[in-house]
Amino acid sequence: MSDSPAVYVPAEIEPKWQAFWLQNETFKAEMDTARPKLYVLDMFPYPSGAGLHVGHPEGYTATDIYCRYQRMRGRNVLHPMGWDAFGLPAEQHAIETGTHPRDTTRRNIDNFRRQIQSFGFSYDWSREVDTTDPKYYRWTQWIFLQLYRKGLAYVDEIPVNWCPALGTVLANEEVIDGRSERGNHPVERRPMKQWMLRITAYAERLLDDLQGLDWPEGIKEMQRNWIGKSIGADVDFAIDGSEEQVRVFTTRPDTLFGATYMVLAPEHPLVGKLVTDEHRAAVAAYQQQAANKSDMDRTELSTEKTGVFIGAYAINPVNGERIPIWISDYVLVSYGHGAIMAVPAHDERDFAFASTFGIEIRAILEPSHDAARAVGLDSGELLKGKACWTGDGRMIRSANNQGLDINGMQMPAAKKATISWLEKKGIGKGTVNYKLRDWLFSRQRYWGEPFPVIHCPTCGHVGLPDEQLPVRLPEMTDFKPAGDARPPLAKAAEWLAVTCPQCGAAARRETNTMPQWAGSCWYFLRYIDPHNDIRAWDPEKEKYWMPVDLYVGGAEHAVLHLLYARFWHKVLYDLGYVSTVEPFQRLVNQGMILGTSYKDSRGALVPNDKVIERGDTFIHAETGESLTVFPAKMSKSLKNVVSPDEVIAEFGADSFRLYEMYMGPLEDTKPWSTQGVKGVHRFLYRAWRMILGDAEQPPPRITDEPLDKNKLRLLHQTIRKVTEDIESISSFNTAISQLIVFVNEFLNEKQQNREAMESFVKLLSPFAPHIAEELWQRLGHIETIAYAPWPTWDESALQVDEVDVVVQVNGKLRARIAMATTLTADEMQAVAMANERVQELTTGKAVVKVIAVPGRLVNIVVR
């Protein structure tokens, strides 16, 4: 072959095979009910202007290995890729430069596609989706309408972060200490009409169904915490001298006898009614101050407790005591009922508050001696109101003359007894609360999906009929917000005007757009049937391909994306559009890849372009000071971002892929090292040389002559190890180690066994597919290796021969032990020393010398 390089040159083979796969549609997936399917999904990227970073190919390589392996095992594999392309950066770029977000997005997608294809991933490119394509978002809008018609989408007036200086609403992440992250301008909370999705209606199912998922336990736990189910009770408190009542939610109804005051959220609707004239001014001032704090800051345990007394008193229903009512920002208006009964002896935040304001602290529960001792609690202090105890214990001081006596009970029994007493009296009941809030689903942005909803003066909100989809984004050149917190779309006058589909009156379109999460809530369903213009997807295809069997991506999506997608999926399930309750059966999180950074002796960070390598040390280019190396998150400012394009140009895609998998278990955080890439590159070079030779080494003769026992065993060990490691998904690194051992053993032979070489190439192919295709072809195959049958191992070939080894102590025969013929002298010695009889004779004595003759004898000399 004239175009055959004598040595391994990735640049000469990789683009060739990538073109081959694309032209031949090698990885095109077709529904085939005769074959078992496998749906393997990557979290599709946001195509940023910066291009791919080294974290992307980590997960993509892992799924690619799994897919290529499973195809060779005969599975019908669906493995698609697409673009999550709506979002803020393209819009900000548009505001700064006037470039339309669509153009920026298109350019970035082209660059991402080029980069991803340069890795040789086995995607079915005919299924590519782009969330910003009207052909795609038509169906995002359609799903929204399904939610809307089911009563799961509604408009509510809720506080948003409004920045007057920037003239825009900011996301929580964009606000730092009450000021805008960009520009440091003051931000205020102001109520605005927003679209909300009723995810809370699915809280219980989102929680329950986690059970059946093959996900990392940590991610499940994060979802559980996010949903935050609390079991407790609602209790109604009468107000002294008023008809009003205040309802509180408590997880500790057992502590009612210790409730010595009550706290309302500053925004609680009853504050205005209950406040006495004397306290009105102070209360108003406090409310003002609380309005500008985030919920996060307010509930922080460590922050100092603030608040004011409003002059009114509630009646504690268990003992009739008057307890003062305060407002404080540690009580959130959005949780429970926005009001609490405060039990300072048994709740940390209440304890801090009561201590600050001199309110009575009354213990009503005593821990056991052991429990108190374990944390150094002095029970005497607790009883005197000088300490707080949040654990379990025996109830004290907790009885009234109206049929409630929980003294002596432990917490669970006391809770139960109190709840049934409250229920009998009609002043409370057992309830469940969730931390999960409804999902704020509108953004005041241009570059997002328009809502398929209009506002009619007579009909109110009207969802558009399906025929009117998609509602396309209007052409605009000015993407700045319209001022006064109105979104940019409010300026598209022509686009805004519509007729109401219900009554025909002149109406206006909704000007908010959907958040970036929308498109990623269902993209895995569109991949199934991406070109369908009649439906979002075909039900038969959905039944065949769903659920996603394996989903790989970063742990940063542990909660929001994965929860939102599960929510939509359940709604679609209830409507009969999908056949599985959950979308993603198995989830694996890839770990972060860190860069290399440097710091000087004072601990100051030194950007990488100011560092010079001197042998094994690193010095500051300007000061000459020697620097310490440490792994750190890759960042532009540290100039330690590794560019995939450069690594591929230097070492090739196969080396890149192999290196990222060789760095360690998939889930671990790992530091990048270009030295490491060199190492695996050398391995690939040697693999090539093993089969085809190179400039110094003539190609071996490929024969059918049988392998000797040791080589045969190594071959079968390698097949087994690589197979099992790929199945685990996590330990690709040890599979690669085994391939390296194989090459070390087989390298430089004048003659190679065909079956061994072909099996090796197959085992290598999921990891390094370009070189594998090339070697496969040069071994005489015409078809792609992508569907060649995966090799299987033979248990009998793994068997190790054993011989009886004679074990002597001081020259006398003491034992005969069966040992594998493959053991080294050291291993034989270890086996001999572990023998019971030998131990009897050697313990307490000094071992002077050990002689081991492989396959024959071990002699131990002791004194």
Interface residues toward ligand ANZ, by CB under 6 A: 230, 249-252, 255, 331-332, 335-336, 338, 340-341, 343, 346-347, 433
Residue at token pair 């068997």: 799
The distance from CA 32 to its chain's CA centroid, rounded to whole angstroms, is 32
Q: Residue 332 or 803: which CB sits closer to ligand ANZ?
A: 332
CB 391 → ligand ANZ: shortest distance, Å? 10
Query: DSSP secondary-structure letter at 513?
Result: B
| Choice between 315 and 459, CB closer to Zn ion | 459
Selected range binding Zn ion among 220-228, 500-508, 583-591, 772-780, rule: CB under 5 A: 500-508
Q: Among ligand ANZ, Zn ion, none, what binds residue 459 when CB lies within 5 to 8 Å by partner kind? A: Zn ion
Quick one: 361 or 518, whose CB is closer to ligand ANZ? Answer: 361
Nearest Cα to 794, choosing from 708, 722, 715? 715
Of 292, 368, 410, 502, the one binding Zn ion (CB under 5 A) is 502
* Smallest distance, ligand ANZ to C-beta of residue 337, A: 7
Tokens linked to 451:
């809502």
702 within 8 A of 779, measured Cβ to Cβ: yes
Query: How is residue 783 annotated by DSSP?
Result: S
Using the minimum distance from each CB to Zn ion, give the nearer residue, 458 or 799: 458
**CB-wise, 433 or 752, nearer to ligand ANZ?**
433
Longest dimension (CA), the chain: 109
Closest CB to Zn ion among 468 and 626? 468
Task: Count Cβ atoms within 10 A of the Cβ of residue 676 and give its class: 0-12 exposed, 13-18 middle, 19 or more buried.
Answer: middle
Asked if 578 and 594 touch (Cβ cutoff 8 Å), the reply is: no
* Separation CA 471–CA 140 (nearest Å): 11
336 binds, among Zn ion, ligand ANZ, none (CB under 5 to 8 A by kind): ligand ANZ
The item of Zn ion, ligand ANZ, none sharing an interface with residue 252, based on CB under 5 to 8 Å by kind, is ligand ANZ
- CA trace torsion 752, 757, 760, 762 (10° rounding): 180
- Residue 340 interaction partner, one of ligand ANZ, Zn ion, none, beta carbon < 5-8 Å per kind: ligand ANZ
When CB distances are held under 5 to 8 angstroms depending on the partner's kind, the choice from Zn ion, ligand ANZ, none that residue 558 binds is none
Minimum distance from residue 229 beta carbon to ligand ANZ (Å): 8
Residue 520 binding: pick among Zn ion, ligand ANZ, none (C-beta 5-8 Å cut-off by kind): none
Which is nearer to Zn ion, 41 or 462 (by Cβ)? 462
Peptide bond into 269 cis (omega under 30): no
- Measure the CA–CA gap between 636 and 5, rounded to whole angstroms: 38
Question: What minimum distance in Å lies between the beta carbon of 676 and ligand ANZ?
Answer: 46
DSSP assignment of 442-455, as one string?
-BS-SSSPBPSEEE
Nearest distance, CB of residue 331 and ligand ANZ, angstroms? 4
| Nearer of residues 305 and 557 to ligand ANZ, judged by Cβ | 305
Q: Which residues lie closer than 8 Å to 262 by C-beta, 6 or more apart?
A: 237, 246, 248, 314, 323, 324, 325, 326, 339, 340, 341, 342
Q: Which does 312 bind (CB under 5 to 8 A by kind): ligand ANZ, Zn ion, none?
A: none
Q: Which does 503 bind (CB under 5 to 8 A by kind): ligand ANZ, Zn ion, none?
A: Zn ion
Is 459 one of the binding residues for Zn ion (CB under 5 A)? yes
To ligand ANZ, the closest distance from the beta carbon of 558 in angstroms equals 20
Between CA 331 and CA 248 the distance in angstroms is 11
Pick from ligand ANZ, Zn ion, none: which does 681 bind, CB < 5 to 8 A by kind? none
Long-range pairs of 690-693 with CB within 8 A, sequence gap ≥ 24? 690/743, 690/746, 690/747, 690/748, 690/749, 690/752, 690/757, 690/760, 691/752, 691/757, 691/760, 691/761, 691/775, 691/778, 691/779, 692/775, 692/778, 693/6
Which H or E run includes 428? strand 428-434
Contact flags string 65-104 toward Zn ion, x per CB under 5 A: ----------------------------------------
737: partner contacted, choices Zn ion, ligand ANZ, none (Cβ within 5-8 A by kind): none
Give, as ranges, the residues between 504 and 533 that touch Zn ion (CB under 5 A).
Answer: 505
CB 361 within 8 A of CB 345: yes
Q: Which does 338 bind (CB under 5 to 8 A by kind): Zn ion, ligand ANZ, none?
A: ligand ANZ
Shortest Å distance, C-beta 386 to ligand ANZ? 17
Pairing of strands 802-809, 812-820: antiparallel
Give me 847's structure tokens.
């071992």
Give the integer Cα–Cα distance in Å for 397 and 418.
14
Go through 344-375 and write b for each residue having 16 or more CB atoms within 10 A of its CB, e for each that does not. Answer: bbbbebbbbbbeebebebbbbbbbeeeebeee
Nearest CA to 185 out of 196, 176, 172 is that of 176
Interaction partner, residue 663 (Zn ion, ligand ANZ, none; CB < 5-8 Å by kind): none
Residue 841: how many CA atoms within 13 Å on its side-chain side? 20
433 binds, among Zn ion, ligand ANZ, none (CB under 5 to 8 A by kind): ligand ANZ
For Zn ion, which is the closer residue by CB, 176 or 503? 503
Nearest Cα neighbor of 91 from 102, 76, 77 is 102
The total number of residues shown for the chain amounts to 863
Applying CB under 5 A, does 503 fall inside the site for Zn ion? yes
Q: Of 162 and 249, which CB lies nearer to ligand ANZ in the complex structure? A: 249
- Residue that is written with structure tokens 């049988």 in the block: 706
CB 22 to ligand ANZ: min, Å: 53
Residues touching Zn ion, count (CB under 5 A): 7
Question: Which tokens belong to 188?
Answer: 């205020």
Per-residue burial over 589-617, b if 16 or more Cβ lie within 10 Å, else e, is bbbbbbbbbbeeeeeebbeeeebeeeeee
d(CA 88, CA 236): 46
Residue 858 tokens, joined: 């071990």
57 cis-preceded (ω within 30 degrees of 0): no
| Residue (47 or 338) nearer to ligand ANZ, CB | 338
CB-wise, 394 or 781, nearer to ligand ANZ? 394
Cβ closest to Zn ion, residue 502 vs residue 580: 502
Instruction: Look at residue 194 and give the partner it binds from Zn ion, ligand ANZ, none, a contact being a CB closer than 5 to 8 Å depending on partner kind.
Output: none
Nearer to ligand ANZ, 354 or 666 (CB): 354
CB of 275: closest distance to ligand ANZ in angstroms?
Answer: 19
How far apart are CB 232 and ligand ANZ at their closest, in Å?
Answer: 6
Residue 100 touches which of ligand ANZ, Zn ion, none (CB < 5 to 8 A by kind)? none
Give min distance, CB of 251 to ligand ANZ, in A: 4
- By beta-carbon proximity to Zn ion, the closer residue of 464 and 578 is 464
CB of 415 to ligand ANZ, least distance (A): 11
At closest approach, how far in Å is the CB of 255 from ligand ANZ?
4
Smallest distance, ligand ANZ to C-beta of residue 271, A: 14
Question: Is residue 814 helix, strand or coil?
Answer: strand
Among Zn ion, ligand ANZ, none, the one that 500 touches (CB under a kind-dependent 5 to 8 A) is Zn ion
Q: Does 456 bind Zn ion (CB under 5 A)?
A: yes
Q: Shortest approach of Zn ion to residue 499 CB, angstroms?
A: 8
CA neighbor of 862 nearest in space, from 852, 850, 825: 850
- Determine the residue type at 697: Q
* 497 belongs to the binding site for Zn ion (CB under 5 A): no
Q: Which does 527 bind (CB under 5 to 8 A by kind): Zn ion, ligand ANZ, none?
A: none
Nearer to ligand ANZ, 350 or 542 (CB): 350
Applying CB under 5 A, the residues found at the interface with Zn ion are 456, 458-459, 500, 502-503, 505
